[in-house]
Amino acid sequence: MDLTFPCIQGGCGARCTNDLQTRCKELESSLWCSKNRGVNYRKYKMSLSKYHSFCSGSFNNNIVIKNIEPPVMIKNPVYSGYCNRGFYLLLSNDQPVCFCPPSYYGDQCQFNSRRITLRIKLNRRHRTDVSAIVYILALLLCNNTIIIDHTHFIDSIQDSLKHESYLLYSRMKLNCIYTVQFEAFNNYKLLTVWKYNVSFDFLPSFRLAKILHFPNIDIRLPYVCSINTCRNNGTCYIINNNKILTFCYCTNGWYGQFCEQWDNDSYCSLENSIYRFKSLCICKEGYVSPNCYLKNTICESFPCLNNGTCYSYPNENNSYKCICPIGYDDARCQNQVPFLNIYTQSNTTYIGFFGKYINSSLQ
């Protein structure tokens, strides 16, 4: 048997075996093993490490291997690393139960969840009528109605960042057509909508990279339909990237493709939010998700300097963004950026450089 696993108490043991003579005494050689003990679950991981050189005696002799005493809170050191990227709790019988992060699952968090990776950038500088801060809600939909998962971005006009996140499929694959829908909000008021099909939903991971273009300046926002086909006071919106398609945005309590279904069982604040479906709340500016009951009062302390405008973020308390006037920059608009004037000999052309800002005019 291949004795290639370095044991805590010294020496080497066999991986993934019940043989008392060859496995490590502390059972650490049994971590991350398949339930079928005849399978070496992480053999490829071992090939990338120094297990073989250590156990064959060719390991660097200058390195001293010490036994590290586990913290008092860990009752059994054999479970260190047991739950991959999650954590474990011990039951009354000292058996571990794993709690996994969203992107992993399994009794030891050993499997990756099926997901859609998002990489999004907004093109909206031509829309001077849109707020400096825009809230983007991303939804994974089944048959255009059932919300499978959601995430959100906060976009600032001064940053022009690419936003990255992911959406998770349901654990049991549903028999439906998957789409990803992006909704842009200005202080919990819907502006416009984009929708994209998931072409290869059989893949374990699908990457969706898009630039979300806002409508031209001659199109009034919100981008609504000329004929409202939605029921129960819902509002019909035109899908921005496909003008043939429409979307019904329902009032609180209603949902469905045409707002035809009623469910008022919501956890959202009726005064400070609108909700897309039950516990999915879109907060009014100044209130904190997930339920929009708590108020983010950070802007009341006027953290932005030099006439900067403060916007409080809904994702966590005391989180905010300063929109700086031209000529100032940094987190609180505290620094003045370099300024340079260039004139032609006739003094008819002026160009001003404010760091990343460039303004030009002809007189």
pLDDT in tens, 307-319: 999 988 887 667 8
Q: How far apart are CA 88 and CA 183, in angstroms?
A: 37
CA-to-CA dists, residue 37 to 20, 94, 183, 260, angstroms: 13, 22, 49, 54
Residues 333-346 have a mean pLDDT of 75
Asked if pLDDT for residue 222 goes beyond 70, the answer is: yes
Q: How far apart are CA 305 and CA 318, in angstroms?
A: 17
Residue 178: helix, strand or coil by DSSP? strand
Q: How far apart are CA 46 and CA 172, in angstroms?
A: 32
pLDDT at 183: 93
Upper half-sphere CA count for residue 319 (Cβ side, 13 Å): 11
pLDDT at 211: 94
Q: Please write the tens of the pLDDT for every residue from 238-282.
A: 999 988 999 998 888 888 889 888 877 778 888 888 887 767 888
Asked if pLDDT for residue 230 goes beyond 70, the answer is: yes
Tokens in use for 182?
Answer: 């992006």
Q: How far apart are CA 236 and CA 225, in angstroms?
A: 5
Q: Please write the tens of the pLDDT for every residue from 84-130.
A: 888 888 888 878 899 988 888 888 888 888 899 999 999 998 998 88
Q: How far apart are CA 249 and CA 232, in angstroms?
A: 10
Q: How confident is the model at residue 53 (pLDDT cuts 50, 70, 90)?
A: low
Residue 45: helix, strand or coil by DSSP? helix
Of the chain, the end-to-end C-alpha distance in Å amounts to 86
Residues 157 and 184 sit within 8 Å (Cβ to Cβ): no
Q: How far apart are CA 246 and CA 257, in angstroms?
A: 10
What are the DSSP E strand ranges found in 31-144?
87-90, 96-99, 104-105, 111-112, 115-123, 133-142
Lowest mean pLDDT among 17-21, 43-47, 151-155: 43-47
Could you tell me the pTM of the whole model? 0.69
> Do strands 178-186 and 146-156 pair parallel, antiparallel, or not at all (unpaired)?
unpaired
Q: What is the mean pLDDT of the chain?
A: 79
Q: How confident is the model at residue 71 (pLDDT cuts 50, 70, 90)?
A: very low
pLDDT at 179: 93
Residues 86 and 100 sit within 8 Å (Cβ to Cβ): yes
Residues 327 and 337 sit within 8 Å (Cβ to Cβ): yes
Among candidates 301, 116, 263, which has minimal Cα distance to 203? 116
